[in-house]
Every structure is written in C-alpha cells, then in structure tokens.
Amino acid sequence: MRRVMTALALASAVVTVAAACSSGPGKAPPSPVQVPATYYLSLGDSLAQGYQPGASGRSVVTGQGYADQLYAVLRPRQPGLRLVKLGCGGETTATMIHGGICRYQGGSQLAAAVSFLRAHRARISLVTLDIGANDPQSCLTATSAGKLVSCTVTALPHATSNLKAILGALRRADPGAHIIGMNYYLPALAEWRHGLPGELLARAVELAAAGYNDLLDRDYRDYRVRVADVAGAFASGDFGSPASVPGLGRLPRNVAAVCRWTWECAPPPRGPNEHPNQAGYRVIAQAFLAAGAASARRPER
C-alpha cells in the first residue's frame, strides 16, 4: 500500500511540473476579469438603514432592511454592485436638507448624497428614497381627531415643499439617475384593536395618510421618480377582507398587515414599534422591485 501511495505522489508531482513548464517561463496565470464598481445608493430615514427593535425594545440596525434585501436581489445581475446606505434614523425632510441628527460630510444627508452622485455619476445604478414619514409623525400617531387635523394642516404642506427641494437637488446632481421613492404604510392602524375609539381613529388616520401619500406620489412623478407603492402592498385602505392573525384573531386586512409585518402589535419590550420585521422589509423591497428597481440604469462603461 505504501509503495502505491508513493507512486501516486510521484506521478502527481510530475504532472504539476509539466503543467508549470507548459505555461512558459516567467508567465503569470491569467488575471481574473475586474468588474467595474457600480452603486446602489439608499437614502432616507431609519427604514433606509433598516431598523428593528432589539431584545430590550430599543431600535437597532439590522442587516435585513429593505435596502439589504433589494441589494441581495440585484447584485447577482450586477456583480460589481455595491450598497451605500446614507439613511438616518429619525430623519425628516428638513433635517435631510439642513442636518442636525446624523453626522455627514457636508453637514447633511442631502449634501452627502449630492456629493456622492456627482463623484460617481457614471456608476450610479439605483437610488432609493424614503423620506417624509417622520414629518407628520404626530399625525400618523395622533390620539385625537383635534391633534390629527392640526398637524395635517401644518406638517404636510411643509414636508412636501421640502421633498421638492430634495428631489430637485438629486436631479441636478445626476439628471439621469434611476431614482425610486416610496409612499408609506400606517402603523397607527393598529389602534383599531382598541375598541370603537380606536376604530374611528384608525379610519381618520388612513384618510389623512392617503392624502399625504397622494401628495408624495405627485411630487415624485414631477421629478421623474418612480414610486414604490408600499401603502398598496400593505393594503392600507382596505378595512374589509378580514384576516386571521395568530394571537389577535380576525382583523381588517390593513390592520392585519400592520400586525404581521411590523412590530406595532407585538407585546413589550419589542413592541409596540412602528418598524417592519424581516417579512415587512421584504414586502417593501418587493414594492421597489415592482416599481422598476430590477431595470436599474446600466452605468456607462
């Protein structure tokens, strides 16, 4: 047996030497083809970073956000694609423009995004944007009709005006960028579970949010930005079509979606929390794909 193994080893060595000689003296093996780097730029608030409540209830960054899941789908088609996340938890349209929450080179997320777009204009494959949910946060979490009306009158027009400024700056930085924005699901629909007052509040919030999402959609389209219909994916306006949710019983379709796909109906310490769970982030990523993320701009070569 030992003689057989020795013979096999010698034969292997001879084959290796022969192969090395056949490549010629001084010749290096061929280098792998270098794939040019391209970029997917994720902009916005905590959703753009991907937040979920940790074991203590405090929201922390997860690797399962919608940008991460979208990137996982797109990268096999674009081997050189890199994900750059500039999102900031708690960001509003105003702080995205002026800064004040997260630290960025240039002073604000918008300044950092504009700088990145200009520096990599020929290599930007996709830009996704979710901003505006924190502006009327008091509207979407209002506990009375009076507070809902007050914040709707003051917050929403200001947010849409800021969004136009953001979109204008991004378009000037890269006129041909493939940008997709999103509208919003409604965590406050979970109030439905709290009797008649909760049901009335959920309906009022849905009406206000539907109007806000319409304004966002219009502004996006004015700047040639496609819209990921997250509100539609969460069936936000559908108070019919009851669905069963484990532990919660039968709920309207839109309420059931919020309870299934976010932490809003979860018990403490993780809930209530408005951020999506992994399945919810997947729903959002699919909405971006449906809006055209799969046909992202092919960068110049």
Instruction: Give 164-213 pLDDT, tens digit per residue.
Output: 999 999 999 999 999 999 999 999 999 999 999 999 989 988 998 898 89
Q: Which two tokens stand for residue 105?
A: 């080179």
Percent share of the chain, pLDDT over 90:
72
In this prediction, residue 25 carries a pLDDT of 47
Report CA-CA distances (Å) from 86 to 57, 119, 184, 277. 24, 15, 19, 20
Place of tokens 């979860």: 266
pLDDT digits (tens, 9 = 90+) for 8-18: 333 343 333 33
- Are the CB atoms for 248 and 258 separated by under 8 Å? no
pTM tops 0.95: no
Both structure tokens of 266: 């979860």
Q: How many residues does the chain have?
A: 301
DSSP 134: S
Per-residue pLDDT tens for 93-148?
999 999 999 999 999 999 999 999 999 998 999 999 999 988 876 565 555 556 66
The candidate with the shortest Cα–Cα distance to 127, out of 217, 38, 230, is 38
Q: What is the pLDDT of residue 75?
A: 95
Kind and range of the H or E run holding 95? helix 93-98
90 pLDDT tier (thresholds 50, 70, 90)? very high
